[in-house]
Chains A and B, each alone.
Chain A
Amino acid sequence: MASTTHIADVLRRRNNRSFFERLAGGDEIAYSITLIAAVAILAIVALIVLELWTHSTPTVKTFGFGFLTSSAWDPNSGKFGALPFIYGTCLTSFLALLIAVPLGVAASVFLAEMAPPKLSDVLTFLIELLAAVPSVIYGLIGIFILVPAIRDYLVQPLKAVFGFLPIFQGDFYGLSFLSAGIVLSIMVVPFIISVSREVLLAVPTELREAALALGATKWEATWQIVLPAASTGIIGSAFLALARALGETMAVTMVVGNTPKITASLLSPGYSIAAVIANEFAEASGDLYVSSLIFLGLVLFGLTIVINALARILILTTTRRGMK
């Protein structure tokens, strides 16, 4: 009895310690330091937005938001327009998704629904390892292996079959929207596979069993039951891949051709937002030139944030629903 009151007494004393006592004990210091670190991150992000915004004001003041819809890019005569870069960024990313989503989803179906768990884990580990390969390495591979391979083996058949389409017209010299799209697709496939696989694995087993019990084949159960149940999350994985493709710099810079041009032809060289910043920023002279590039950075920042947020919401809704 006595000991219980003693413990209660100690606890009360500890909880009633003054602020300075706790400070001396190190508690408040430790708490404050971690809090400061957390707040510092908020400050850093705020600073990023602020820096991008203040440094892009000369461009905003000179061109207004017409900057975004103008396609003139001639630094020598002081003309700056963002459209060719926005077009190139969107086109290459779209191409990448067009190739990577079907392949990635099919592979994730195999890994989640068919492969034995051990094999699936090993393959997923290998695929996730590929996500660690830096983009400059993909660029290196793009320039020296993929671009020649595309030129020698892919473009001729494409032109022979689909040559009448405007997207496959004109000459092909190697560096092009098409090359950038293909390199990007290889880079984002690992992301699509690993996220889609997680989402598929979160679909309750009962759904599969019910479908199979009703006489569906494995494929029918997957196609008509599991995939629809996971569709939001899979779309989320595609958005995640899109955000990455949009912001991807080095690999695109190395294979896209770096020519500010808007054409329907995928075989022609182009440019992207990230690529133009990477190429021209260090040599840019004059306030307007630099601030135009920074404004392009701000546009890219905004684009990726919106897409990332969408992806996160989509993935969260499915994995949560699956866990219930």
Chain B
Amino acid sequence: MTLEISPRRRVINFVMLSLSGVCTVLVIAVLFFILGYLFVHGARSLNWNFFTKLPKPAGETGGGMANAIVGSGKVLLLATVVGVPVGFLAGVYLAEYSGKTFAFVIRYVVDLLNGVPSIVIGIVGYALVVRPMHHYSTLAGGIALGIMMIPIAVRTTEEFLRAVPNSMREGAMALGATKAQTVFTVVVPAAASGLMSGMMLNLARVAGETAPLLFTALGNMFWSKGWLAPIATLPVMIYNYAIAPDEDLHQQAWAAGFVLLLLILVVNVTARMIIARGPASSRR
């Protein structure tokens, strides 16, 4: 027995299914056209000065972003020091220690923090650090980005620790290890590669954040000394140069965008490959 499907239904089926395929191609094409343009245009605007020279005063051409590259590094280092330990330990708590109700509350609040718009985190950084100290600083920028790193750090830690099979915990306990020894010498090392790539993704995410730095780290045309002076960062430089009415600065903004995006994408691809190949996911 064969089922009869009228030509009209056949045509509708074909048209609609093709349409969904076309939409997919359209979305991917638009996105990749844009990124392709950035890569071509950005790479063309890139030169050695970009990495080695300081920005030139307004009106002069040339110069580079050496201070912003170092600045981004400093701010991200500080953010990692602020955000990762708190997030990691809270993640350990959720995965290994917590009861149901309190864990629900913490998870909810972590999600909430993850949803806070980045500009609001900027305001908080300003209110907590800049205002009491009366000046913009690397410290304020690092703390703002650090707060942004916490939610993802918690979630990845919890997820990867949960993926460690219970037999490992039981094995450690049976050998006489205490709970703390089990968690920190058996479970955490077993999840280490996942945890590391999770943190890399986390870092890549905040590396491009601009809004929280606008009025915390502010910006700086020169080298920033110590941790309490304003500091230039790549994303803020891109923003400032892109809206400046100067073709030479636009070129530098493209170059900076290229460098920033390349770093972020390389970290993302590497980390995702490690996670995909890691032991944690194959066991799931």
Q: What residues of chain A have their CB less than 8 Å away from a CB belonging to chain B?
A: 25-27, 29-31, 33-38, 40-42, 44-45, 47-48, 51-52, 55, 102-104, 106-107, 109-111, 113-115, 123, 125-127, 129-130, 132-137, 139-141, 143-146, 186, 189-190, 193, 215, 217-220, 223, 243, 246-250, 253-254, 274, 277-278, 281-282, 293-294, 297, 300-301, 304-305, 308-309, 312
Contact B93 A106 (CB under 8 A): no
* Contact of A126 (CB < 8 Å), options: B13, B28, B208: B28
With known contacts A52-B123, A135-B210, A274-B119, A41–B110 Cβ distance under 8 A: yes
Q: Does any Cβ of A come within 8 Å of B215's Cβ?
A: yes
Contact A44 B5 (CB under 8 A): no
Contact A134 B260 (CB under 8 A): yes
| Residues from chain A with Cβ under 8 Å of B17 in the complex | 110, 114, 218-219
| Residues from chain B with Cβ under 8 Å of A41 in the complex | 86-87, 90, 106, 109-110, 113, 150, 154
* Contact of B117 (CB < 8 Å), options: A186, A247, A293: A247
Contact A219 B34 (CB under 8 A): no
Complex Cα gap A229–B265 (Å):
35
- State the interface size on chain B (CB cutoff 8 A): 92
* Contact of A132 (CB < 8 Å), options: B94, B128, B264: B264
Which stretch from B52-60, B62-70, B163-171, B249-257 is at the chain A interface?
A: B249-257
Q: Which of A107, A143, A305 has the most CB of B within 10 A?
A: A107
Complex Cα gap A141–B37 (Å):
9
Q: Which of B32, B106, B208, B210 has the most CB of A within 10 A?
A: B210
Complex Cα gap A111–B115 (Å):
27
Complex Cα gap A31–B218 (Å):
39
B window 172-228: CB within 8 A of A: 178-181, 183-184, 201, 204-205, 207-211, 214-215, 218
Q: How far does the Cβ of A17 sit from chain B's closest Cβ, in whole Å?
A: 10
Q: Does any Cβ of A come within 8 Å of B97's Cβ?
A: yes
Contact B24 A110 (CB under 8 A): yes
Contact B23 A304 (CB under 8 A): no
* Contact of B264 (CB < 8 Å), options: A133, A223, A312: A133
With known contacts A140-B254, A217-B5, A305-B112, A37–B119 Cβ distance under 8 A: no
Contact B242 A37 (CB under 8 A): no
- A sample of 7 inter-chain contacts (CB < 8 A) reads A34-B93, A34-B97, A40-B86, A51-B128, A130-B31, A145-B37, A274-B211
| Residues from chain A with Cβ under 8 Å of B210 in the complex | 134-136, 249-250
Contact B90 A144 (CB under 8 A): no
Complex Cα gap A111–B161 (Å):
30
Contact B184 A312 (CB under 8 A): no
* B contact patch SS: helix
Complex Cα gap A146–B239 (Å):
16
Q: How far does the Cβ of A133 sit from chain B's closest Cβ, in whole Å?
A: 6
Contact A132 B205 (CB under 8 A): yes
Complex Cα gap A243–B116 (Å):
9
- B235, closest chain A residue (CB): A136
Contact A220 B9 (CB under 8 A): yes
Complex Cα gap A193–B118 (Å):
23
Q: Does any Cβ of A come within 8 Å of B133's Cβ?
A: no
| Residues from chain A with Cβ under 8 Å of B181 in the complex | 26
Contact B208 A282 (CB under 8 A): no
With known contacts A26-B180, A37-B89, A110-B24, A137–B260 Cβ distance under 8 A: yes
